[in-house]
Amino acid sequence: MQIKNILKRGFSLSFEVFPPVREGNLESLFTTIAELQIVSPDFISVTYGSGGGSKDKTVAIAARIKSEFPCEALAHLTCVGASALEIKAILTQLSGEGVENILALRGDPPKDEKFFRPSPGGFSFASELIHFIRENWEGGEICIGTAGYPEKHPEAPSLAVDIENLRNKVAAGADFITTQLFFDNDVYFRFVEASRRKGITVPIIPGIFPVLNYAQITKIVSLCHAKIPLELGEKLNRFRDYPAETEKYGIEFAIKQTEGLITAGVPGLHFYTMNKSSAVLPIIEALDFPNRSYEAIRTAKDKR
């Protein structure tokens, strides 16, 4: 099923995973995906990797999710490291595997490069990629998502300019938006309001990153420039040398954050799992999601 149709039904629940660097960890990833099925996610998104280096794994993982699990697969696709001809070949692969949902992104430059450079014969912007997918998809109807940045993309001169770029992506054919991580719900609400004022009407799904590790979140925040609220920052600094306390508080914070989003009527929640079901299942267990019952996860917990 296409994600745009899932969103029309009501509240959606989804998770992001990434292709493991080591081949031997692939089955571990699918163990995680299987564990996530206990809460009946609507879709699992599979990232593309920095510099597009994991594109073959992305296709293979998305195809296996599509064939082995009841949820949908959302395959990431970026402009990095590929010409239009190469991207068309990837689209053919995805179509052949029955994948009908793509998250189209410009993508980050390879680790050894500071700035994004379009590949020869490739694309400079996600809007160009989205238009190309629309024009070249051969597998029937396709659903395309894209990314939104509540605190603006690090390279954008202002949030207003970034929202204008987002409008261009929707105009090119994006059906929904998933946001970059954020820790202040008001940032998300203001972003949605500003997007609506610009005529962006597609669903905007908030992206949630549970804080479980001090060093990890410090690195990620430095890359995406998300702001850490004062209360969260103080607690993380206090617990920085106590991993168990950091994880406990991170889950508590994520529960509080997601409760606020659900109460406000968001179209769904998208969790960045870092390939660990333990990062998100305790959060979902603690919440009453719209139109969902998670007795199974509580039963599983009782058996542990």
Catalytic residues: 16
In 3D, which of 280, 289, 285, 288 has the Cα closest to residue 298? 285
Question: For residue 237, with 0-12 CB atoms within 10 Å meaning exposed, 13-18 middle and 19 or more buried, which class applies?
Answer: exposed
- Which token pair is 126? 């996600």
91: number of Cβ within 10 Å:
21
In 3D, which of 62, 33, 31, 32 has the Cα closest to residue 47? 62
The β-bridge relationship of strands 143-148 and 101-105 is parallel
- Exposure string of 34-68, with b = 16+ CB inside 10 Å and e = fewer, is eebebbebbbbbbbbbbbbbbbebbbbbbbbbbee
In 3D, which of 38, 110, 36, 109 has the Cα closest to residue 73? 36
End-to-end Cα, the chain, rounded Å: 34
Per residue, the 3-state secondary structure of 189-255, as one string, reads HHHHHHHHHCCCCCCEEEEECCCCCHHHHHHHHHHHCCCCCHHHHHHHHHCCCCHHHHHHHHHHHHH
